[in-house]
Amino acid sequence: MILVVSSSLNPRSRSRLLAQAACERIEKMGRVLKFLDLHSHCLPLCDGASAYGEPAAAQATQWVTEASAVFLASPVYNYDVNAAAKNLVELTGRAWTGKVVGMMLAAGGQGSYMSAMGLANSLMLDFRCLVIPRFVYTTGEAFSDQDAIDPTVLVRIDQLVEETLRIADAVR
Ligand SMILES: Cc1cc2nc3c(=O)[nH]c(=O)nc-3n(C[C@H](O)[C@H](O)[C@H](O)COP(=O)(O)O)c2cc1C
C-alpha cells in the first residue's frame, strides 16, 4: 500500500493539490493507495502519553506501518514543514522505520527551498527512512486562479512518484 499524506489544515491548501495529483498518478499505476488528509483526519497533539491511543492516531500509525512508501505534501511554515506534519511523525514514530519517503512542498516564496531538510534529517536519522532526493517545491506561481497545477510541476510529481515507487519496490 502507498500512503499519501496532506498535512495542511487550510481548506484552500495548495499542497493538498500536490498530494491529490500524486494520488492520481499512483492510482493510474494500479497501486493500492490511502490518502491521509490531516484537514479532515483530526489528530490529537502528541503528548508522549495517552494521545497515542486515540483512534485517529492509532489509525494513522496503522496506515504508516502498512505503507511501503509514504508521500508527504506539506505547507512551508517558518522555514519548516508545518506543525501538523511534525505532530504526525511524533504520534506515529517508529511506524516510519525504513520507509521510502517522497516530499512535496507548497511555499510562499523561492527562498525556503530547503525547508524539508529538518524533517528529512529526523526521518533519516531517527527511523532510517530513505528520503528521495527529489523534492517537489512549489510557490504560488505553480497554481492558476482555478487551482490548476502548472504542467512542469505535474512532470516533477510524476518523476517523484516513479522514482519513489521504483526504490520502494526494490528495497521491499
Ligand atoms: C504561519 C505561516 C508561516 C509561513 N512561513 C513561510 C516560510 O517560512 N517560507 C515560505 O516560503 N512561505 C511561508 N508561508 C507561506 C505558505 O508556505 C504558503 O501560503 C503555502 O501555500 C501554504 O501551504 P498550503 O496552501 O498547502 O496550506 C507561511 C505561511 C504561514 C501561514
Domains and CATH numbers, the chain: 2-171 (3.40.50.360)
State percent of the chain over pLDDT 90: 99
68 closest CA partner among 103, 37, 94, 32: 32
**Between helices 151-171 and 15-28, what is the axis angle to 10°?**
60
* pLDDT surpasses 90 at 157: yes
Closest C-alpha to ligand 1, atom 12? 108
Is pLDDT of 134 > 90? yes
Q: Tell me: the pLDDT tens digits for 2-58?
A: 999 999 999 999 999 999 999 999 999 999 999 999 999 999 999 999 999 999 999
How far CA 137 is from CA of 69, 111, 119, 127, in Å, comes to 19, 11, 15, 23
49-86 pLDDT per residue, tens: 999 999 999 999 999 999 999 999 999 999 999 999 99
Distance 108 CA to ligand 1 centre (A): 5
Taking the C-alpha atoms of residue 40 and residue 60, their distance in angstroms, rounded to an integer, is 13
